[in-house]
């Protein structure tokens, strides 16, 4: 079994017209302990591991996007692994 070569995937990323304003990636789903730093997933993927985090994201990204755009109406686009969504 190999434990090297971790796959780093961004599960969800949000953008305003200029730049990335938030993302959920390996730093979140691979986190060991510690607090969740206000990730856009609401902590749901925190420490969940890749496969569980992918399932969470596919199931719930719509709600996360709604919540994020409520807080920041400037968000115009989102990448949801493995696709891109533009509003
Ligand atoms: Zn997250």
Q: Is 23 helix (H, G, I), strand (E, B) or coil?
A: strand
Provide φ and ψ at 16, rounded to 5°. -95, -170
Strand order in the sheet with 12-15: 20-24, 12-15, 77-80, 83-86
- Rounded-to-integer distance, Cα 46 and Cα 9, Å: 14
For the whole prediction, is pTM greater than 0.85? no
> How far is the centre of ligand 1, averaged over its atoms, from the C-alpha of 65 (Å)?
12
Give domain limits for the chain: 12-86
> How far is the centre of ligand 1, averaged over its atoms, from the C-alpha of 41 (Å)?
4
Q: Please say if the pLDDT value at position 36 is more than 80.
A: no
Confidence of residue 2 (pLDDT cuts 50, 70, 90): very low
Q: Each residue of 38-74: pLDDT tens digit?
A: 899 999 999 999 999 999 999 999 999 999 999 999 9
> How far is the centre of ligand 1, averaged over its atoms, from the C-alpha of 27 (Å)?
8
Say what the pLDDT of residue 28 is. 93
- DSSP state for residue 71 in the 8-state scheme: H
Q: Please say if the pLDDT value at position 25 is more than 50.
A: yes
> How far is the centre of ligand 1, averaged over its atoms, from the C-alpha of 2 (Å)?
25
């Amino acid at each position: 079994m190999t434990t090297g070569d971790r796959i780093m995937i961004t599960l969800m990323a949000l953008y305003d017209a200029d730049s990335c304003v938030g993302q959920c990636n390996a730093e979140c789903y691979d986190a060991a302990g510690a607090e969740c730093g206000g990730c856009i997933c609401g902590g749901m993927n925190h420490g969940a591991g890749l496969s569980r985090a992918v399932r969470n994201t596919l199931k719930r990204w719509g709600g996360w996007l709604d919540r994020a755009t409520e807080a920041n109406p400037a968000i115009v686009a989102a990448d949801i692994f493995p696709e891109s969504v533009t509003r």
